[in-house]
Chain A
Amino acid sequence: MGKSTKKASTSTLWEQLFKAPSVRSYLSQNAAGLGLPTFAAYICELCREKSEVPEHIIRRAGLERSFGHQLFRGDRNPSRNTVLQLAFGFQANVEETQALLRHAGRSQLYPRIRRDAAIGYCLENGCSLMETQCVLTELSLPTIGDSAK
């Protein structure tokens, strides 16, 4: 997952961002059978796939602990910012982040928005949430969690 060595140019990034939706339709189709909302089922499955525990994801995502667990239990619906934080928790790349946003029913990253392009670039290059917040501040763009949604 960690892509600290890989550099992606924004043009490649844009292509990736525009990629057709793919992967993981399995979970959206099977969530009902698990008795969980799609998003909670999806992130639980993602944890298993990555051999991670929610605790670590929540910490890296900078989320309050009980709130984070509520997300994994399906007790809360995440805002778009929360999904983006979770993406950093999962050390996701752009494609995985788009899938997370899609499962949460939130708007996908959109490369013509500079903030989204910067977040996508940071995710793709393995930046942590803190580093990304610094990048956004440096570019005078709203940080994650700073916007009201």
Chain B
Amino acid sequence: MNRAEQVAAELKRSFTEAPYPAEFLEQYDQLECFSHSRGTETFLVREKGSGVLYVAKCFDKSVCTVVHGSEILLRLHRDGLPAYAASYENARVSVTVREYVEGTPLDLYAEKNPLSERQACRICIQLCDILRYLHGQEKPVIHRDIKPQNIIVRPDGTVTLIDFDIARQYSDGAETDTQFLGTRVYAPPEQYGFSQTDCRADIYSLGVLLRFLLTGSEKERPDKPLSKRMKRIVGRCTAFSPNDRFASADAVKRALLRAGEQHRRRVTLSLSFAATALLFLCAGFAAGRYTSVFTPAAAAETAVFREPLIEAAARAQLGKSETEPVTAAELETVRELYIFGTAVSATRDPFDNKSTEHAPRGGITSLDDLKLMPNIEELLVAYQDLEDISGIAALKNPVSVGLLHTRVSDVSALSGKPSLLSLNLYGTNVSDVSCLNSCARLEYLELGGTLVASPDALGGFDTVTELSLIGLTLDTLDGIERFSRLETLNLSNAEIGSIDTLKNLPSLHVVTADGELRERLSELFAGTDVSLVAG
């Protein structure tokens, strides 16, 4: 018997029977313990055979009597929430297995990357979307433990809300919560037993979280004042009485978006105030009168659209029926527009994860109607015969643009849009995006299924952290080092010649690829921390 066999035999003899359900141990290898406290343990586990990672939460039945997480997770299906996988039980322990979300907990993330007001708002806006989904369930789901440790920031910057152990469904009958659960500093007064918690409990925690992201402290501190606009939002989220809080996550999102817009406007205004004032004076004198400079009547006029689908999507945003008039002033308030084939929606949710599904094409051929809605920040126009997107130039501050499965080949209308963070051109006829180099904040770029055929046509974005080249054929990735901050690269179904330059990307963290390319990549990244994921 060699030494290893000897040690293994000693260990076998000393292992006591594990308390966990046998079926669970047959199915998964426990890899590490993320956290443990009295009666609960959270493990990273790996499914035997498939090698897929999951998170398993184990509850000691003699200590924990309330276990809500698994039944609630089972019914939730949305990006930003971990998918339920399985549950197991024996006399001593009950186990819930859920999707493992790759990323960094928000507390560590914020510690490593001090967040600007804009970044903090973007994170909270994503959480608002997740909460809108949870609170919008037939029986609203209240998370009740929203805190940085329960929010995972994925490598692509999107966030996932985890840990539904103390989540509960709002029941109309109950007047107060029966027991205190949650993290005290993030918990609203009613969670201490004043009344039953409803959706506004999560709004309270969201306010505390926003304060933490902006100041590094959950509690108000005189040495770390908030800006006026953020103070208003945090204050309203964390009001003692639920009645004084924002009524919904959607309302918080709108307030955050408005605050961002006001901030941008103020910066622009303060920079150009003198010049603008002078211009107005000159224009006034040249015209011989001031009154015609403003035309308030125009704002009340009924707007006329060219594209019926764009009109329908705008009406969805404004909550207007087909027959109600829509004025120009109302259209100026539209911030999002979602059109997918012949369908429109007020939110993005129905169209998430549908980029590769086939959909019947809508008839949009022009985006000129966007001139009516210059404040749109998030635009999705998918599955259209659209070729000309020049109308998009009318958007003042587009943040996220999706044009997937359109016939667009020229994207120069987006050049010089410094606000653009995310651009999805999946399945378009685009062959060159180097004209977008002036989009100085672009972080996510989807070029899957496009006609891009050379690395030069990719441009050079030192701001992009996530790039997708799904299905492209490229002789070489020489020049990819221009994407110096790239963290995530998707090469699923791609045929790539030389890949050596990928080694020069210092932040590269996750690469998705399959087949022979994946094998070559695994050689290239042997011994590094770059994770390879199957496409």
Q: Out of B8, B15, B34, B36, name the residue touching A138 (CB < 8 Å).
A: B8
Q: Which residues of B contact A63 (CB under 8 A)?
A: 527
Q: Which residues of A contact B19 (CB under 8 A)?
A: 112
Q: Which residues of A contact B528 (CB under 8 A)?
A: 64, 67, 76
In angstroms, Cα B15 to Cα A113, docked, is 10
- With an 8 A cutoff between CB atoms, is A117 at the interface? yes
Q: Which residues of A contact B7 (CB under 8 A)?
A: 121-122, 125, 127, 131, 135
Q: Are the C-beta atoms of B11 and A121 separated by less than 8 Å?
A: yes
In angstroms, Cα B506 to Cα A80, docked, is 20
- With an 8 A cutoff between CB atoms, is A29 at the interface? no
- With an 8 A cutoff between CB atoms, is B30 at the interface? yes
Chain A residues 121-149 with CB under 8 Å of chain B are 121-122, 125, 127, 131-132, 134-135, 138-139, 141-142, 147-149
Q: Are the C-beta atoms of A64 and B108 separated by less than 8 Å?
A: no
Residue on B with the closest CB to A134? B4
- With an 8 A cutoff between CB atoms, is B41 at the interface? yes
Which candidate, B43-51, B83-91, B206-214, B235-243, is the interface stretch facing chain A?
B43-51
Chain A residues 77-127 with CB under 8 Å of chain B are 77-80, 82, 105-108, 110, 112-118, 121-122, 125, 127
Q: Are the C-beta atoms of A110 and B11 separated by less than 8 Å?
A: no
A147 to chain B, nearest CB (A): 5
- With an 8 A cutoff between CB atoms, is A10 at the interface? yes
In angstroms, Cα B31 to Cα A138, docked, is 17
Chain B residues 29-86 with CB under 8 Å of chain A are 29-34, 36, 41, 43-44, 46, 51, 53
A38 to chain B, nearest CB (A): 12
Q: Are the C-beta atoms of B46 and A142 separated by less than 8 Å?
A: yes
Q: Are the C-beta atoms of A131 and B33 separated by less than 8 Å?
A: no
A97 to chain B, nearest CB (A): 13
Most buried by B among A77, A82, A105, A148: A148
Q: Out of A79, A107, A142, name the residue touching B34 (CB < 8 Å).
A: A107
Residue on A with the closest CB to B35? A107
Q: Which residues of A contact B43 (CB under 8 A)?
A: 113
Q: Are the C-beta atoms of B529 and A139 separated by less than 8 Å?
A: no
Q: Are the C-beta atoms of A147 and B46 separated by less than 8 Å?
A: yes
- With an 8 A cutoff between CB atoms, is B171 at the interface? no
- With an 8 A cutoff between CB atoms, is B3 at the interface? yes
- With an 8 A cutoff between CB atoms, is B531 at the interface? yes
- With an 8 A cutoff between CB atoms, is B12 at the interface? yes
B510 to chain A, nearest CB (A): 11
- With an 8 A cutoff between CB atoms, is B174 at the interface? no
Q: Out of A67, A113, A132, A149, name the residue touching B33 (CB < 8 Å).
A: A113
A114-B15 CB under 8 A given contacts A64-B527, A79-B529, A148-B53: yes
Q: Are the C-beta atoms of A118 and B30 separated by less than 8 Å?
A: no
Most buried by B among A9, A75, A112, A122: A112
A90 to chain B, nearest CB (A): 18
Residue on B with the closest CB to A138? B8
Q: Are the C-beta atoms of A114 and B4 separated by less than 8 Å?
A: no
Q: Are the C-beta atoms of B3 and A131 separated by less than 8 Å?
A: yes
Q: Are the C-beta atoms of B30 and A115 separated by less than 8 Å?
A: yes
Q: Out of B14, B36, B526, name the residue touching A110 (CB < 8 Å).
A: B36
In angstroms, Cα B1 to Cα A134, docked, is 13
Q: Out of B2, B5, B29, B506, name the residue touching A142 (CB < 8 Å).
A: B29
Q: Are the C-beta atoms of A76 and B30 separated by less than 8 Å?
A: no
In angstroms, Cα B463 to Cα A48, docked, is 39
Q: Are the C-beta atoms of A149 and B32 separated by less than 8 Å?
A: yes
Residue on B with the closest CB to A110? B33
Q: Which residues of B contact A142 (CB under 8 A)?
A: 29, 31, 46
Q: Which residues of A contact B (CB under 8 A)?
A: 9-11, 63-64, 67, 75-80, 82, 105-108, 110, 112-118, 121-122, 125, 127, 131-132, 134-135, 138-139, 141-142, 147-149
